[in-house]
């Protein structure tokens, strides 16, 4: 929308736009916060699920992902500050029109959807469950069907899945199956 009004994408051409365009600045702030992963918005759900999944495989890659999220957030906040706050630095921006009815009709449903996904993402996760399951099985066969094992001396702990490689200390004896009936058969 800014491009349609000014025909430029240079950050230096803008500044202080919240004065002539306060409603646009509010919507732009919500979209910016969504992009940087603010809780209660859709970006948080996406970033959290991606980083959680990456962390299950490699904490090092998850750390790089977190660094990317932090740098992206810093850039987005810097961008918002330069474009929206301060005095109007360019005379061409002094009389820019705020949002019109068509733009409201386009943006408000998107903002509502961003909040809806951020607050209650379960319907989307339900839709995506089967395709993601099929994709994971194709990339990592047996991921969901691998038996879970308990290390000796760790009977009360959560089971360890065989499908996800983990760096574990070497076992001192055979790994005992998790069900009590099979433990009796092993002894």
pLDDT mean over 19-48: 94
pLDDT classification of 163: cutoffs 50, 70, 90: very low
Which tens digits make up the pLDDT trace of 37-50?
999 999 999 999 99
Confidence of residue 93 (pLDDT cuts 50, 70, 90): confident
Cβ neighbours for 158, distance < 8 A, ≥ 6 positions apart: none
Distances (CA, A) of 133 to 48, 70, 88, 121, 144: 18, 30, 51, 17, 8
| pTM for the full predicted model | 0.72
């Amino acid at each position: 929308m800014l491009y349609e009004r000014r025909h430029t994408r240079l950050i230096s051409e803008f500044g202080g736009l919240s004065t002539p365009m306060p409603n646009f600045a509010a919507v732009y702030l919500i979209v910016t916060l969504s992009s940087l992963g603010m809780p209660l918005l859709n970006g948080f759900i996406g970033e959290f699920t991606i980083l959680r999944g990456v962390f299950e495989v490699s904490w090092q890659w998850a750390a790089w992902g977190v660094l990317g999220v932090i740098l992206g957030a810093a850039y987005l906040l810097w961008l918002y500050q330069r474009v929206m706050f301060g005095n109007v630095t360019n005379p061409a921006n002094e009389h820019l029109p705020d949002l019109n009815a068509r733009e409201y009709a386009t943006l408000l449903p998107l903002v509502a959807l961003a909040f809806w996904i951020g607050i209650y993402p379960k319907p989307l996760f339900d839709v995506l469950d089967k395709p993601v399951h099929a994709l994971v099985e194709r990339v990592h066969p047996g991921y969901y069907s691998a038996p879970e094992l308990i290390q000796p001396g760790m009977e009360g702990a959560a089971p360890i899945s065989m499908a996800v490689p983990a760096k574990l200390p070497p076992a001192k004896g055979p790994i005992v199956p998790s069900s009590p009936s099979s433990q009796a058969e092993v002894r």
